[in-house]
């Protein structure tokens, strides 16, 4: 028996008779501890022929799944991890179609089938949507483990009933089954299995012995020779060894990590040396720690003991780390993948040596306009990294922003972040259930409406207003009390421009638009808001352009004289 899972892998893909290969496949065998906590993954996606961008969807789905699955918490089950990743990917693909020229024809959008096999410990987990297939060869029997999601309207006509990106909601087929050494799993796209009988597939798999790459290539080539006119992909995985019973029990306990004790300076904890406590609250503790293996200083966050029975808090704590692992931006706090097995529930992120924007504002009460522009631009870059992944931050405020020693600004807290597709982890806030801080929360949240990227834009604009307005708020405290549309229509923006500071009047126009109570009257994109903070709009310039008499008095009087001469000439002509 072995203390770890061992597999052999072979795969092959070809465009076949088509000019573009819309299939995409990938597999990942990680090193410990991820091998034990997350397992081995093989995945393939098949684009739909009616779409010219379907290959983008296939590649994004496979790459996104492989990356985001391994970024999920080690304490999440395989099922929870994979389903959350797939729902987030589905929402992202669906959003790409909505924002593209194909928004009215989903069959031409960012859509693909998807099938994944996760092998962890002594269990195979299957996730499937579409008409690719996952098979198992055990002994002399090759059996399909998935069902095609294809709807037949006649003996010759059918359409895809389910796929990634085709709808905002996703129904995923899930199955878990035990594995044994010698089991062989096969993943194929329809270009392969629709042109090969099961007996032929079995013969080809048996005929290539231990060369699994050759077996995958043979399946593709035989299907092509049999007349397949589609893209063709095959992946073959053979189980060489599974963990013994004791190792499996250790992996099972890893899914139920206990909360850590209260830590003190000089404590040694799970491979870290605690230096000092950085922050403590009723919900969590943050420590400066040194990784004993590398000597790298890190920030180590642990849940408060008071939260040990709060499952909702535990879920959000784990979600925060997944978000930090998914986003790759110099303006967002980074969390790395674990390099050793954990014995407690905690998270580790990069250490940012600096101060919060809230403290910086106290130290710099009246920053100049150019400094404010630089701060806003950095925050916007961080927010766009969230929005590109269909996530909303929902709690942007100076206390959740850090400025490091180089002047780089980073978003550091994701406790209120909503991930598209994960209703159970990010529900739309009700009027009495505001996730963010009231002073920075967009008005639509107080109506019980879900947020959009324009809601984060509102929060960013409040920060910009505060930086330029001596810490004041654009509507005072009235936004939190305006919980009807009628009340929000009565909100009145307080202009910044008062003649005491060198702030151009048009900056007020920019902020007023970004801070409008109606989200549909704000900027359509963050980039537009950032651009307009540096460039007055043509509309504003036209509205505020000085009259000709002020700009060019000589030309003005010449024009007046010419007009009078014409009038006199007309009168004389009539009198004559």
DSSP code string of 107-131: GGSS-EEEEEEEEETTEEEEEEESS
Residues linked to residue 239 through DSSP beta bridges, in sequence order = 7
Angle at 124 between CA 426 and CA 421, to 5 degrees: 15
Q: Please tell me the distance from the alpha carbon of residue 30 to that of residue 28, in angstroms, as a whole number.
A: 6
CATH 3.30.200.20 describes domain 257-350:
yes
Q: Which residue has the tokens 């996952």?
A: 134
Length of the chain: 576
Q: Please tell me the distance from the alpha carbon of residue 450 to that of residue 431, in angstroms, as a whole number.
A: 10
Q: Please tell me the distance from the alpha carbon of residue 99 to that of residue 113, in angstroms, as a whole number.
A: 21
Q: Please tell me the distance from the alpha carbon of residue 460 to that of residue 357, in angstroms, as a whole number.
A: 12
Residues linked to residue 349 through DSSP beta bridges, in sequence order = 299
pLDDT at 295: 94
Q: Which residue has the tokens 């710099």?
A: 364
- In angstroms, how far apart are the furthest CA atoms of the chain? 122
Q: Which residue has the tokens 């000089």?
A: 266
For residue 179, give both structure tokens.
Answer: 């594995």
Q: Please tell me the distance from the alpha carbon of residue 201 to that of residue 168, in angstroms, as a whole number.
A: 36
CATH number of the structural domain 354-536: 1.10.510.10
Angle at 96 between CA 90 and CA 97, to 5 degrees: 95
pLDDT at 425: 40
**Structural domain boundaries of the chain?**
6-251, 257-350, 354-536
Q: Please tell me the distance from the alpha carbon of residue 94 to that of residue 158, in angstroms, as a whole number.
A: 22
Q: Please tell me the distance from the alpha carbon of residue 403 to that of residue 410, in angstroms, as a whole number.
A: 6
Q: Please tell me the distance from the alpha carbon of residue 387 to that of residue 492, in angstroms, as a whole number.
A: 29
Alpha-carbon torsion angle 335, 339, 343, 348, nearest 10: -20
Q: Which residues contact 375 (CB under 8 A, 6 or more apart)?
A: 357, 367, 409, 463, 464, 467
Q: Concatenate the DSSP letters of all residues of 22-81 into one string.
A: -EEEEEE-PPTTHHHHT-EEEEEEEE-TT-SSHHHHHHHHHHHHHHHHHHS-TTS-HHHH
Q: Please name the CATH architecture into which domain 6-251 falls.
A: 4-Layer Sandwich (3.60)
Q: What is the pTM of this model?
A: 0.82
Residues in the chain with pLDDT < 50? 254, 424-432
Q: Where are the alpha helices (DSSP H) in 404-452?
A: none
Q: Please tell me the distance from the alpha carbon of residue 557 to that of residue 312, in angstroms, as a whole number.
A: 75
Q: Please tell me the distance from the alpha carbon of residue 182 to that of residue 168, in angstroms, as a whole number.
A: 40
Pair 234, 216: CB distance under 8 Å: yes
For residue 390, give both structure tokens.
Answer: 């269909």
């Amino acid at each position: 028996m072995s203390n770890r899972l061992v597999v052999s892998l072979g795969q092959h893909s070809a465009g076949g008779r088509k000019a573009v290969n819309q299939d995409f496949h990938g597999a990942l065998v990680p090193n410990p501890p991820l091998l034990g906590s997350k397992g081995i993954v093989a995945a393939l996606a098949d684009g739909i022929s009616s779409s010219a961008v379907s290959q983008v969807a296939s590649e994004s789905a496979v790459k996104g799944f492989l990356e985001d699955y391994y970024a999920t918490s080690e304490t999440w089950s395989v099922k929870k991890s994979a389903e959350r990743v797939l729902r987030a990917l589905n929402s992202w693909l669906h959003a790409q179609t909505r924002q593209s020229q194909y928004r009215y024809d989903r069959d031409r959008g960012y859509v693909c089938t998807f099938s994944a096999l996760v092998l962890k410990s002594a269990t195979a987990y299957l996730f499937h949507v579409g008409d690719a297939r996952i098979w198992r060869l055990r002994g002399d029997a090759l059996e399909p483990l998935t069902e095609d999601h294809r709807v037949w309207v006649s003996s010759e006509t059918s359409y895809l009933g389910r796929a990634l990106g085709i709808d905002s909601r996703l129904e995923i087929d899930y199955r878990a089954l035990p594995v044994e050494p010698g089991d062989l799993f096969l993943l194929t796209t329809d270009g392969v299995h629709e042109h090969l009988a099961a007996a032929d597939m079995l013969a080809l798999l048996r005929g290539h012995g231990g060369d699994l790459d050759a077996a995958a290539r043979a399946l593709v080539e035989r299907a092509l020779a049999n007349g397949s006119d589609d893209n063709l992909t095959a992946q073959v995985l053979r189980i060489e060894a599974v963990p013994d019973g004791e190792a499996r029990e250790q992996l099972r306990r890893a899914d139920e990590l206990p909360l850590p004790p209260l830590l003190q300076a000089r404590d040694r904890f799970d491979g870290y040396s605690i230096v000092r406590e950085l922050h403590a609250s009723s919900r969590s503790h943050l420590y400066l720690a040194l990784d004993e293996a590398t000597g790298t200083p890190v920030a180590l966050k642990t849940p408060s003991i008071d939260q040990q029975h709060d499952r909702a808090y535990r879920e959000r704590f784990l979600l925060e780390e997944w978000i930090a692992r998914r986003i790759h931006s110099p303006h967002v706090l980074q969390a790395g993948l674990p390099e050793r097995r954990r014995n407690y529930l905690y998270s580790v992120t990069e250490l940012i040596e600096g101060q919060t924007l809230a403290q910086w504002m106290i130290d710099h009460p009246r920053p100049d306009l150019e400094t404010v522009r630089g701060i806003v631009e950095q925050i916007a870059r961080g927010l766009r990294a969230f929005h590109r992944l269909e996530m909303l931050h929902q709690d942007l405020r100076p206390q959740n922003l850090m400025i490091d020693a180089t002047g780089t600004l980073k978003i550091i807290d994701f406790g209120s972040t909503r991930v598209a597709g994960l209703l159970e982890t990010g529900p739309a806030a009700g009027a009495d259930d505001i996730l963010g801080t009231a002073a920075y929360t967009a008005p639509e949240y107080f109506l019980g409406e879900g947020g959009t990227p324009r809601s984060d834009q509102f929060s960013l604009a409040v920060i910009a207003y505060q930086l330029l307005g001596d810490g004041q708020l654009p509507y005072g405290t009235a936004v939190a009390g305006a919980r009807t549309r009628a009340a929000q229509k009565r909100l009145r923006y307080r202009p910044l421009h008062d003649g005491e500071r060198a702030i151009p009047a048009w900056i007020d126009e920019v902020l007023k638009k970004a801070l409008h109570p109606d989200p549909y009257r704000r900027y359509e994109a963050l980039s537009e808001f950032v651009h307009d903070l540096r460039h007055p709009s043509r509309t504003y310039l036209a509205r505020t352009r000085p009259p000709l008499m002020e700009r060019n008095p000589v030309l003005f009087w010449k024009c007046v004289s010419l007009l009078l001469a014409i009038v006199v000439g007309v009168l004389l002509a009539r009198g004559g």
